[in-house]
Amino acid sequence: MVDTALIGWSRAQFALTACYHWLFVPLTLGLSVIMAVMETLYVVRKDEFWKRTARFWQKIFGINFAVGIATGIILEFEFGTNWSNYSWFVGDIFGAPLAIEGIFAFFMEATFVAVMFFGWDKVSRKFHLAATWLTGIGASISALWILVANGWMQHPVGMEFNPDTVRHEMSDFWAVVTNPVAVSKFFHSVLSGWMTGAVVVIGISCWYLLKKRDTEFARASIRVAAIVGIIGTFAVMFSGDSSAVHVAKYQPMKLAAAEGLEDGGQRAPFSIVPGIEIPGMLSLLATHDPDGYVPGINDLLEGYTAPDGTEVLSADDKMERGALALAAFKAYRENKDTDPEAAAEARKVLEENAGYFGYGYIEDKEDLVPAVGMVYWPFRIMVGLGCLLLLLMAAVLWAEYKGKIEKIRWLHIAAIVSIPLVYIAGQCGWIVAEVGRQPWAIQDLLPVNAAVSSLGAGAVMTTFFIFVAVFTLFLAIELRILVKAIRKGPEKQI
């Protein structure tokens, strides 16, 4: 039996690294678009004002980008150190998108980001503009391959289990790349970065307005950022809709936990908060049919028959078939060199039950239910803050359009306060995505208790607190440099 303390500390360390890393990624994705739009205005209008504006936000981008790389590298190493069984079991599949991200996307970013920062007045304006756009595109491509890997963990496709190597091996690369869960996750995550970048730019710009300095720069930055942010937020809502359908289809337990839905059925209600529901709304969101059937937590544990006649096995039945798969796998390995006939029979049983292989490691069916409160409330915080920030961006854009933005002090303060709120919304989104699929490292295929490395819990606990100290230091250094750059402000016209 795996030490539960080891599992807990390994999960905590990975969550810590991922949460810190996601402090930097969305701002990189959002600022890359905003600063590229600003530089495009410079090239088109030949106005030095837009050059100075773009260069300021590129400086903010660079500070954030550098620290984000450090946390991202550590995150990838943890798959080998803390989750070596996982890496062995599915490394042939999971490693491919990570390798592509490192070889292609990261080097693309590194190449063009150098031109972007050091190429001013050394290359032509159009070449420099292309480098700026390609830096942003490279950041998005980098995110694509990371999210292809993560989407595969949520909905594993395009692979076959090889009992001889004890590994899942990729059989269809394009099935992995075009995995619908990965596609919707890519758009949802990248576009949420547009929202983050916009809110940060608006908040910093409103600080300048509050201080009554660099007002022309601040107002121009607000115009560009608010438009990018509003477009990104509406696109996030659209991608969130497709994501909800995929979760309902491939991860019904996550959906049930996110809604606190114990008993499902047709015309399932959407819970705004406990005690306040919209009848039929969950069915509409999950199936695009107000009469659609949505299973609840109890249905998924006890088994149910869908309205179309499809029978879904109970958790006990899945665990029983998982145990059969594990026993057949063991029998195949023991007999493949000495008794080919027995090995062939064992392999047949294994293939018949391979879809339930991961359930063989589940000891109690209640472990299949994620922490409902850790999914239910973060989802509502994410959605609520998203709507609030959309209203704020719309209000700021309207005030700027009407020429009143400099006079509305409360709006300046609200925009500054919104900066931490957009990060909270992003973190809550990942909590829903990752806590919601527990206990699975790979949905229905490999639980975390079988994915963890054979380490001492004390060693992982020690490195956890070391990482807390190091990452906090990284964050403090970044914030200090950012604050210094913001206080200095954009370059002055000579």
Could you tell me the pLDDT band of residue 384, with boundaries at 50, 70 and 90?
very high
Q: What is the pLDDT of residues 397-452, one digit of tens each?
A: 999 999 999 999 999 999 999 999 999 999 999 999 999 999 999 999 999 999 99
- Using the Cα atoms of residue 324, residue 329, residue 332 and residue 333 in order, give the sign of their dihedral: negative
Closest of 407, 464, 26 to residue 215, by C-alpha: 407
- Alpha-carbon distance of 252 to 437, in angstroms, equals 9
Closest of 192, 107, 180 to residue 141, by C-alpha: 107
Q: What is the mean pLDDT of residues 136-140?
A: 89
Evaluate whether 297 touches 436 at the Cβ level (below 8 Å): no
- For residue 228, pLDDT beyond 50: yes
Amino acid making up residue 136 = G
- For residue 104, pLDDT beyond 80: no
Overall size of the chain counted in residues: 494
As a three-state string, the secondary structure of 166-234 is: CEEEECCHHHHHCCHHHHHHHHHHHHHHHHHHHHHHHHHHHHHHHCCCCHHHHHHHHHHHHHHHHHHHH
Give the start-end residues of each E strand in 275-386.
276-278, 293-294, 304-305, 311-312
**And the tokens for 369?**
């239910």
Could you tell me the pLDDT band of residue 494, with boundaries at 50, 70 and 90?
very low
Q: What is the DSSP letter of 437?
A: T
Q: Is 46 left (phi over 0), alpha (psi -120 to 50) or beta?
A: left
Could you tell me the pLDDT band of residue 112, with boundaries at 50, 70 and 90?
confident
Evaluate whether 392 touches 418 at the Cβ level (below 8 Å): yes
- Alpha-carbon distance of 232 to 240, in angstroms, equals 12
- For residue 40, pLDDT beyond 90: yes
Query: By mean pLDDT, which of 59-68, 237-246, 295-304 is the weakest?
Result: 59-68
- Alpha-carbon distance of 332 to 128, in angstroms, equals 60
- For residue 69, pLDDT beyond 80: no
Q: What is the pLDDT of residues 41-57, one digit of tens each?
A: 999 999 999 999 999 99
Q: What is the pLDDT of residues 337-380, one digit of tens each?
A: 888 889 899 999 998 998 898 999 998 999 999 999 999 999 99
The pLDDT score that the predictor gives to residue 64 is 87
Three-state SS at 290: coil
Give the start-to-end residue ranges of the domains of the chain: 15-248+455-488, 265-359
* pTM of the complete model: 0.92
The pLDDT score that the predictor gives to residue 49 is 94
Mean pLDDT of the chain: 91
Place of tokens 């957009």: 422
